[in-house]
Amino acid sequence: MTEAAVEAEHVVVDSVVRDRIRVLIITLAIAIPLIAWTLTQMSTLAFFTQILNGLSFGALLFFLASGFTMIFGLMRIANLAHGGFYLMGGYVGITTTLVTGQFWLGLLAGGLVISCLGLFVERILLRRIRGMEKPEVLLTIGLTFVIGDFSLAVWGGDPRQIEKPEYLKGAFQIGDSFFYPKYRLFVLALAILLGSFLFYIDRKTKIGAIVRAGVDDRETVAAMGINIKAVFTGAFIFGAFIAGMSGVIGAGFLSLLPGEDFVILLFALVVVIIGGLGSLEGAALGAVVVGLIDAFAKALVPELSFFTLFAPMAIILMVRPNGLLGRAS
């Protein structure tokens, strides 16, 4: 690399960093007064409880959004069936746990069954319309209706929760007077684990490089000795696996019921719209932001809790149409 190119690279990195710093400053400028106001509304203890609530819900959203965003980054497919995958995965997990009595088996079963479904969807359905953005999206939304109706037929319309193992039940004590559900902390830990794993793949492996390049150049990819079709299928199955698993995880602290597929899809969409489609950091940032907004809104202005999602999304879209960390199109 020539000296000029190195210098140019620095300039670009600088401009990205400057851009990120600007995002951070604006976020803080909005967040700090909001936090101050919130603190006048509730006790410090309640405040921290809500922070943890927000982060653990954000963790669940990150499971969904990361898979969604990864599939989009790699294949340019916006898989709306992700919500359906979540719901059905959760139901499968609940049934498996009921039968075997093992939470972990339920988790695995939820992921695996949905992976198989993902394999079918990618190989049999989506492959026929590869590269056609809009038909792909419409197909996945049709699929969500079918999955939702199938789940209703099999598991019925009542809210369902999963039986948690003993060691994840009850509350964890911090200090003298602060108690917090163990299960939610477990979800948070799991998300950090998955996040680190995904960031490792994204940054350090060939597949990550392909995902970040957005597969602009298939020939180069082929020349690297990578079977791109296999990578696509693999990524789709992996995304489906996380979605199915996250349904089981979600069944531990939220309820599963018909319609929840679209609700969770909405949250996941807001996460990727705010964070920026196709960006893993965007999914992480968006998940934290949406999780926190939702937790505090539910505590303070429950009737408006959907609107509180709408407003920041609207503002962000007007200022940054590609999301906070999205690439310019």
Partner 1 sequence: MNVDDVTVRFGGVTAVNHVSLKVEGGQRWAVIGPNGAGKTTLFRTISGEVFPTEGRVELFGSDMSRAAPYQKAQRGVGRTYQVTELFKELTVEENLIIAAQAVTKTRFCFWAPVRVRGEVDEMVANALEAVDLTSARHTRVADMSHGSHRQLEIAMALSSNPKLLLLDEPAAGLSSAERRMMKGLINGLPRDLSIVLIEHDMDIALDLVERVLVLDNGSRIAEGDPDEIRTNQRVQDVYLKFD
Partner 2 sequence: MSMIESAGQARKALPITARVQLAMLAIALVVAFIFPFLASTFILRLVTLALVSALFAMSVDLMAGYAGLVSLGHAGVLGSAMYGVGYVASKTDGGFALQLLVGFAAGIAASVIFGLMAMRSSGVYFILITIAQGMIVWGLATLLVKITGAENGLPGIRRPVVVETEFRYYFVALIVVLVSSVGLFIVVRSPVGFALKGLRESETRMRMLGHNTTWLKFQMFMLSGFFATIAGILLVYLNEFVNPTDVIIASSALPVLMSILGGIGTLIGPFIGAFVVVFLRNYVSLEIDRWQSIMGLTFIFVVLFARDGLIGAVKKHWYKYLDSKGSGPAALAATEMAAPPLQSG
Q: Which two tokens stand for residue 213?
A: 């390049």
- Partner interacting with residue 157 (select from partner 2, partner 1, none; CB below 5-8 Å by kind): none
- Partner interacting with residue 4 (select from partner 1, partner 2, none; CB below 5-8 Å by kind): partner 1
> Measured from the CB of residue 133, what is the shortest distance to partner 1 in angstroms?
17
Residue closer to partner 2 by CB (options 163, 281) is 281
- Partner interacting with residue 38 (select from partner 1, partner 2, none; CB below 5-8 Å by kind): none
Strand partners, 160: 256
Rounded Cα gap, residues 82 and 118, in angstroms: 10
Rounded Cα gap, residues 172 and 323, in angstroms: 36
Rounded Cα gap, residues 61 and 290, in angstroms: 8
Note the Cα 173 to chain centre separation in Å.
28
- Partner interacting with residue 11 (select from partner 2, partner 1, none; CB below 5-8 Å by kind): partner 1
Residue closer to partner 1 by CB (options 211, 285) is 211
| Window contacting partner 1 (CB under 8 A); options: 2-10, 20-28, 115-123, 258-266 | 2-10
Using the structure block, give the residue that is written with the tokens 């020539």: 2
Q: Are 80 and 277 in contact (CB under 8 A)?
A: no
Residue closer to partner 1 by CB (options 14, 149) is 14
Question: With binding defined as CB under 8 A, does residue 153 bind partner 1?
Answer: no
Question: With binding defined as CB under 8 A, does residue 36 bind partner 1?
Answer: no
Residue closer to partner 1 by CB (options 9, 133) is 9
Residue closer to partner 1 by CB (options 8, 224) is 8
- Partner interacting with residue 6 (select from partner 1, partner 2, none; CB below 5-8 Å by kind): partner 1
Detail the DSSP E strand segments found in the chain. Answer: 171-174, 178-181
Binding-site ranges for partner 2 (CB under 8 A): 72, 76, 78, 80, 125, 128-129, 133-135, 137-139, 141-150, 152-153, 259, 262-263, 265-266, 269-270, 272-273, 277, 302-307, 309-310, 313-314, 317-318, 321-322
> Measured from the CB of residue 13, what is the shortest distance to partner 1 in angstroms?
9
Question: With binding defined as CB under 8 A, does residue 12 bind partner 1?
Answer: yes
In terms of Cα–Cα distance, which of 158, 154, 186, 164 is closest to 98?
164
Instruction: Give the relative orientation of helices 82-100 and 44-75 as an angle to the nearest 10 degrees.
Output: 110
> Measured from the CB of residue 8, what is the shortest distance to partner 1 in angstroms?
5
Please give the C-alpha separations between residue 123 and each of 21, 86, 326, in angstroms, as whole numbers.
42, 20, 29
- Partner interacting with residue 313 (select from partner 2, partner 1, none; CB below 5-8 Å by kind): partner 2
Q: Which two tokens stand for residue 268?
A: 């996941």
Any idea what DSSP says for residue 327?
P
165: number of CA atoms within 13 Å, CB side? 12
Q: Are 284 and 323 in contact (CB under 8 A)?
A: no
- Partner interacting with residue 12 (select from partner 1, partner 2, none; CB below 5-8 Å by kind): partner 1
Q: Which residues bind partner 1 (CB under 8 A)?
A: 1, 4-6, 8-9, 11-12
